[in-house]
Amino acid sequence: MVEPAGKARVLMSYTLQYGQVTPYLGYLAGGAWLALQIAAIAFVIGWAIGLVCASLLEYGPRPARWLVRSYVVFFLNTPLLVQIFFLYFALPDWGILLGSYEAVLLGMALNAGAYLTEIQRAGFRSIRVAEVEAATTLGFSRVQTIRYVILPHICKVLFPPLSNQYIILTMTTSIAAIFGVEELTGRTYNINAQTFRSFEIFSIAALYYIALTLVASAALYAVGRYFFRIKGKVF
């Protein structure tokens, strides 16, 4: 029982030395920028996939609806990590070779597309028939009805969940480090392997992720406030 106490004394003697890791702040910033790029590209691709799939679920023929449902069920009920492992390790057996970056980006985009399908489908179903009928009564053309009635309504309904999904996607980019992509978490691993200052470097990485979230949240709030007139709070 004496040995644990000795270990405790050794642990308590740990001295924080942030000076050993501060020279790498610029290197970490580059990783944070790469994480934002991955999240943005994956989100845009996922949004496009979700828009097409949601449209097919609502207005497409039965075979198309069946295929979309199969896609959504598969990607919503399997871990993202397993999906990327499949793209990175299994596809080469079929002659399809993807680099680490491409496999991570494609996996995140397909996964996000499944979630965004359900989100955008809910937006389509939120359209009020009475509003469309009122626009028709007022003499609006089909284009005017879409522009002034349907789109503003859908944007207001979808913007909050889409924003949340983007924030989640930004945090999920840390999974890319497993495949050797040097985004923020990957570069944190590299620095830790060189300096062995785990507490210092991972605490700094956590602050970077908090900063990414705050910046993204503020930017999304500004977009929603000034383009879609959505009222709300940043935090």
pLDDT tens digits along 19-55: 899 999 999 999 999 999 999 999 999 999 998 998 8
The pLDDT tens digits of the residues spanning 51-79 come to: 899 888 988 899 999 999 999 999 999 99
The count of structural domains within the chain is: 1
Position 131 confidence tier, pLDDT thresholds 50, 70, 90: confident
- The answer to whether position 44 is within a domain reads yes
Residue 44 phi, psi (nearest 5): -65, -45
The predicted pLDDT at position 126 comes to 83
- The answer to whether position 192 is within a domain reads no
pLDDT at 179 exceeding the cut of 60: yes
pTM of the predicted model as reported, rounded to 2 decimal places: 0.84
- The answer to whether position 205 is within a domain reads yes
| In contact, 50 and 120? CB cutoff 8 Å | yes
- The answer to whether position 21 is within a domain reads no
Two structure tokens written together for 206? 């956590």
Average pLDDT estimate for 121-137: 82
The predicted pLDDT at position 221 comes to 79
pLDDT at 3 exceeding the cut of 60: no
Which residues 6+ apart lie within 8 Å of 209 measured at CB? 171, 174, 184
pLDDT at 6 exceeding the cut of 60: no
| In contact, 176 and 185? CB cutoff 8 Å | yes
106 is in which domain, residue-wise?
A: 27-184+198-227
Which residues 6+ apart lie within 8 Å of 88 measured at CB? 98, 100, 103, 179
Count Cα neighbours of 184 within 13 Å in the Cβ-side half-sphere. Answer: 26
Two structure tokens written together for 142? 């089909």
CATH code for the domain of 49 = 1.10.3720.10
